[in-house]
Amino acid sequence: MKKVIFLVMIPLLLVSCSVFKTAPTERLQTQLLPDIVKDLYFGMSMDKFEDVKYAKNLEERIDMSFRYEYVENIENAEFQSITYYFDAKISSQPLYEMIFTFKDNVDVESYTRNMYGNPSIMHHLPFDEWCWKSGEGFQIVAWTFENKLVIVATIKRTEWAELDICGE
């Protein structure tokens, strides 16, 4: 009987350990992202992004030597498009910025304040910002500009790496 219990316990322990080991820390970020991109996270490689988002539905733009850019046209009540930036210099080409362009009838400032509350930093860039420590070695910073919500990650060696607003 002890052998049977032992043989049953080994696979259970292996499965439970692998489940905890692969629990994605990137999902902690998803509470800071609009629901439409809950399957994405900052630091995600461009290859993984292309697996998650059907690349044929995206317009690829290469207008800067230091980043790759995808634009996804959206058909819902709030957004007209989302622009994704990936670093071109880092081998994994991580996702480090998302720009949500809203439809004209949406009040971007109200949407953002409803999602995040009051800004944590007032007028640092030339506008108010929200800032969070990711727990993964970078900050997540958001701000509104015209009809856009910009959310960036200060991942090392990316465009926003030197931006230190909330300290980490």
6 pLDDT more than 60: no
27 pLDDT more than 90: no
Which distant-in-sequence residues (6+ apart) come within 8 Å of 54 by Cβ?
A: none
Asked if residue 158 lies in contact with residue 46, where contact means CB atoms within 8 angstroms, the answer is no
The residue ranges of every structural domain in the chain are 25-153
Start-to-end CA span in the chain (Å): 53
The answer to pTM > 0.85 is: no
pLDDT tens readout for residues 28-60: 677 899 999 988 999 999 999 988 887 667 877
Distance of CA 50 to the CA centre of its chain: 14
